[in-house]
Structure 1
Amino acid sequence: MAEILRALSKDKNIAIFIMNSTDIVEYARKIHSLPPIPAAALGRLLTATSMMGIMLKGENHSVSVQISCSGVLKGMVAVSDSKGNVKGYVKNKDVLTETDERGKLNVRGAIGEGTLTVIKDLGLKEPYIGQIELVSGEIAEDITHYFALSEQIPSAVALGVLIDRDESIKSAGGFIIQVLPDTDEKVILELEQKLKNFSNISSVLENKSIEDIVKELFGKIEYEVLARYQPVYKCNCSKEKVESIIPLLKDEEISNDTIEVVCSFCQKKYYFTKEEALKIKYGE
């Protein structure tokens, strides 16, 4: 079962959000039939978005993280509620498996250049929208850059997805560490040293619980666990919601007696008669 732990140092200067997202990423891989690189890329984005979701304060608040890119993936979307329940998809999953110079899946190459957009629905008239240029395509570095640039929060982000030999998800997860500007420089340096041990977070999660990792990261710093979450991959689509796609269809796409619309997030299929589709599109 996927799990998120939220912890805060006793002086309230350091916040850590850490997640084991293996079950969620494996579920996403299965429903979308993803090969390794799209699975790794979407898994990282789902993990980050889920942790960003629990940072929201309102029960009905949500956050969407979108990547538009020049690489073969073409883009990705992930959406989370304030309990960390998350859903997402890649725009192109037909990506060949290749490794980079480090021998790792070439997610960076599959993403290429582009933008990262964060949209927060906080129940106000207009959503909050923050957008940055991608700095690397590694997603963790891009999320770090987003926090620094758009929210002025110094952060360290680690995200990882480990693919097994049968292409299933062996482990997946990550953490977001946020530090207040007035934190003692010695404490920050010690934290930076510890972070080097967690550069491959998906491998670490194979052998250690998220509680163990939090304990190691804080070290001698006193902290408390504020909350635990057990998020799931969750899509709240319905026939009424997917109706919005009908007006975008060309007339020739509404020529059959039955029109099939597939939810991008969960692959559930919805069917409309030709008469229903024309009425939605033209109000006839």
Structure 2
Amino acid sequence: MDKLIKSIATSGFFRAYVLDSTETVKEAQEKHQTLSSSTVALGRTLIANQILAANQKGDSKVTVKVIGDSSFGHIISVADTKGNIKGYIQNPGVDVKKTATNEIIVGPFMGKGQFVVITDYGTGSPYTSSTPLISGEIGEDLAYYLTESEQTPSAVGLNVLLDDKDKVQVAGGFMLQVLPGAPDEEIARYENRIQKMPAISALLEADQPIDALLKAIYGEESYKILSQENWHFACDCSRERFEAALKTLGQVELQQMKEEDHGAEITCQFCGQKYQFNEKDLEEMIHDKAQ
């Protein structure tokens, strides 16, 4: 199970979240059979959504939509405040690396578009906000969203590191935010440290990635841990939910499905689970509609 640590500088002027999201991204890669670039793009989106959901209180749900016009298509993730997250990418088959360095390419395949965040507080009126994609690298797009939409200056670093077989090795990242009243000299000191910090991939490869991330953020400055949260990939799909969706179809559509396809198979986009409905199931739905 993955871990997210919330911390705050002793001064009270900075807070940081650090994450080890390795198991979540591994599960997503396995369920969607993503290739290298798609794995990294989907993984970064999941990590970004973990950060946003962890920033909420109460029983809330956060949906992140990274809507691009290039090869990846849309990337959708849904997370709640109980540590559950799911997600998918429209095109799981993007697999491009730089020839010289074998570095996985992500940003150019996101294209132009929007970083959309939908927060559902359970009141029946979800709140939606968005900012333009500035790079398609997801981490930079999240930082821009937090700074522009939520008016909280933020630094974000997140990544997914693959092994030589393009399987997820480690995944995670951090978010650092400036809180009201922070003196300019302290902001400059943190900015300098963030600019000089090692690559996120290197920090994630450390024996204790959470500790390595905290050390890189705070240096020798004191901080305290506020909380620790556990996270995992979990989909809330069910046969009942998809059956309810089928029942919204008209009698004619259900009859055609029964006669031409002899049943129905529905695949959950978020986890790949398949649900089968045979001719008898469809006949019962048709009969119910006729009553």
Is the TM-score greater than 0.5?
yes
Identity over the aligned pairs, expressed in percent? 31
Partner deviation per Cα, 1:160-185 (whole Å, 9 max, x = no partner): 11111111111111111111242111
Deviation string 1:85-118 (CA, Å, 9 cap, x unpaired) is: 2110001112232338976322111111111110
For 1:258, give the aligned amino acid.
Answer: G
Report the alpha carbon displacement of residue 29 of structure 1 after superposing the two structures with TM.
Answer: 0.6
Partner of 1:179 in structure 2? 178
Q: Partner of 1:283 in structure 2?
A: 289
CA shift, 1:263, in A, is: 0.8
Superposition deviation, residue 276 in structure 1: 4.2
Counterpart of 2:116? 117
- C-alpha RMSD of the superposition: 2.5
CA–CA distance in structure 1, aligned partners of residues 147 and 241 of structure 2: 35
CA gap 1:147/1:277 in 2 versus in 1, 3 angstroms: farther
Identify if the C-alpha distance between structure 1 residues 187 and 234 changes in structure 2 by more than 3 Å, giving closer, same or farther. same
Report the alpha carbon displacement of residue 133 of structure 1 after superposing the two structures with TM.
1.4
State the distance in 2 between where 1:155 and 1:180 align.
10
Aligned to 1:241: 241
Q: Letter of the aligned partner of 1:266 in structure 2?
A: C
Any idea what SS the aligned residue of 2:232 has?
coil
Letter in 2 for 1:122: Y
- Separation in structure 2 between the aligned mates of residue 4 and residue 155 of structure 1, nearest angstrom: 17
* CA distance in 2 between partners of 1:234 and 1:200 (Å): 29
Matching residue of 1:163 = 162
Q: Distance in 1 between matches of 2:99 and 2:83?
A: 31
5+ residue gaps, structure 1, are none
| Residue in 2 that maps onto 1:194 | 193
- Name the CA distance, whole Å, in 1 between partners of 2:244 and 2:201: 38
Partner of 2:57: 57
Alignment-derived partner of residue 35 in structure 1: 35
> Once structures 1 and 2 are overlaid, which stretch shifts more, 195-204 or 19-28?
195-204
- Tell which deviates more after alignment, 39-48 or 89-98: 89-98
- Paired residues for 1:1-284 under 5 Å: 1-58=1-58, 60-99=59-98, 104-198=103-197, 200-207=199-206, 208-243=208-243, 245-246=245-246, 247=248, 251=253, 255-274=260-279, 276-277=281-282, 279=285, 283-284=289-290
- How much has 1:51 moved relative to structure 2? 1.8
CA displacement at 1:27 relative to structure 2: 1.2
After superposition, the Cα gap between the structure-2 partners of 1:157 and 1:28, relative to the gap in structure 1 and judged at 3 Å, is same
Q: Which amino acid aligns with 2:161?
A: L
Query: How far 1:22 sits from its partner (Å)?
Result: 1.2
- How big is the shift at 1:9? 1.6
TM-score scaled by structure 2? 0.89
Residue 273 to residue 173, structure 1, CA distance change in 2 (3 Å) = same
- TM-score, normalised via structure 1 length: 0.91
Structure 2 unaligned segments of length 5 or more: list them: none
